[in-house]
Amino acid sequence: MKLTKITMVVLTLFWSAVIATSAYALDAGVENLRQTSKAFAAVSREVSPSVVFIQVEGKVSGTGAVPFSSPFGNELPFGDDFFKRFFGDEFPSLPRSPRSEQPQGERRVMGQGSGFVFKTDKGLLSDTAYILTNNHVVENADKIQVQFQDGQEFDARITGRDPQSDVAVIEIKASGIPALQFADSARLDVGEWVVAIGNPFGLSHTLTVGVVSAKGRTSVGINDYEDFIQTDAAINPGNSGGPLVNLDGDVVGINTAIFSQSGGNMGIGFAIPSNLARNIANQLIEHGGVTRGFLGVIIQQLTNELAESFDVQAGKGILVAQVNEDSPAQKAGLQQGDIIVKIGDQPVSEVGGFRNRVAMTPPGSTIELTLLRDGKEKILKVTIGKLSDDKLLAEGATQSADEIGLSVQTLTPQLAEQFDVKPGEGVVVTELQPGSIAATAGITVGTVILEVDRKKVNNAAEFQRAVKASSDDKRVLLLVRNGDVQSFVILNW
């Protein structure tokens, strides 16, 4: 009996402790959530006074279309996506005009977006506030008005624009407006909390919360120069130009674009990192434009197949497909077929990241490139030039892995003149089998093939012998030229 009573007392104490612990854990969890909520509220209070709603008015010229007559008006009753879900992607969108477009002339258009006052490297000016936004928000504007959270409105003018990075700075005559500071976006971690503030769909000063989903997105195809932060914080039309901030209220990026099939948020948004935006913004303020570094090479991603052909490790380095004449790269000794593995002390693995590093290097500066040439490491010092409109910066060249399905011809003087190459250098594609892997790879009639498996071919016979020598492997590496651009292409059959 005593044992039973003791057991009951122990059990009672045990369950009391369990209940107390659970209640404590619940209270602690709720308190943590409460503190997180307060952190977001604090960020909103700190950042929102610096964020502006931008309204623009401008003139565009173009053509218009006669509306399509439909019982549903200009839209299908449930949208194009509804029908494509059942009929597939081949289902066409509702045509807007069955006839040719009609001249419309010049017309007024309205637009809107977001922006934020920021601290420049020179500090705050007494009578001018600078606002950072996206180029696509203000590029066609001849009238810009900004509105702050407290209702103040100002007319703004463009300080400078950079379409290639989609960054723009506008300015207003005002003083005493709080300005946001930039954080070091290189120190941002995937999984870190971020807050987006802007004016989606014209709903002023809307806050959304999420995490950094990825960094260094360079092949999105939105801008010429890309290094996007990817986030699941809801970004919608009208958020463009608004700040993406950390929990300290410092700017880590400019909200720029969304990935969407519906026009609204789908959990994938892109922001220009603060380090890139800050560099460009300060140049726009100081010079009204952006000066970029120039190397003078065409580069391409080192795929697994290319890495195997060059006998190097995949994923480490990028391939030099072409070195432009009289360029900084040529003067430094870079050669076609080099594998660039480092710029300074930073490893190189992506074309986009390397391109951005070169672009942001001031002309006249010297950089150190570590490369692999014929399997041996080599270090070159290159003095960066200045990029102008008629020069090519490091950029990706087309490459694919396909099979032979073409006919070639020796380059006659007439053909060489037509394709701007020297007679006896390479062969020209004169016939292409439709649907062949060569065609799929991007080779076209008129493509000049300069090398087969790293060996020059000077006539059609040499080309045929070189391809035949690779028949056992059913794989060949070609160096091709289309226009002024050369690239390596692997054909498998």
How many angstroms separate the most distant Cα atoms in the chain? 114
- Phi and psi, residue 408, nearest 5°: -125, 165
Contacts of 265 (CB under 8 A, 6+ apart): 234, 235, 236, 258
What is the distance between the alpha carbons of residues 250 and 308, in angstroms, rounded to a whole number? 45
* Residue 204 buriedness (CB in 10 A; 0-12 / 13-18 / 19+): middle
Extract the runs of DSSP E, i.e. beta strands, from 139-183: 141-147, 153-162, 167-173
Active site residue 453: no
CB 242 within 8 A of CB 199: yes
Ramachandran region of residue 220, left (φ > 0), alpha (ψ -120 to 50) or beta? alpha
Nearest-CA neighbor of 197 among 135, 117, 276, 283? 117
Active site residue 166: yes
Contacts of 277 (CB under 8 A, 6+ apart): 132, 165, 167, 182, 251, 253, 254
What is the distance between the alpha carbons of residues 367 and 294, in angstroms, rounded to a whole number? 12
Contacts of 121 (CB under 8 A, 6+ apart): 278, 282
Pairing of strands 448-452, 427-432: antiparallel
Nearest-CA neighbor of 399 among 316, 339, 321, 483? 321
Measured between its terminal Cα atoms, the distance across the chain in Å is: 87
Q: Which of 48, 114, 136, 402 is catalytic?
A: 136
What is the distance between the alpha carbons of residues 276 and 485, in angstroms, rounded to a whole number? 28
Q: Which of 48, 162, 165, 166 is catalytic?
A: 166
Ramachandran region of residue 67, left (φ > 0), alpha (ψ -120 to 50) or beta? beta
Active site residue 204: no
Nearest-CA neighbor of 166 among 256, 238, 292, 239? 256
Ramachandran region of residue 374, left (φ > 0), alpha (ψ -120 to 50) or beta? left
Token pair for residue 248?
A: 């300290």
CB 394 within 8 A of CB 300: no
Token pair for residue 276?
A: 């890139």
Nearest-CA neighbor of 477 among 275, 360, 305, 323? 305
Q: Which of 240, 274, 327, 487 is catalytic?
A: 240
Pairing of strands 401-402, 485-492: parallel
**Residues recognised as catalytic:** 136, 166, 240
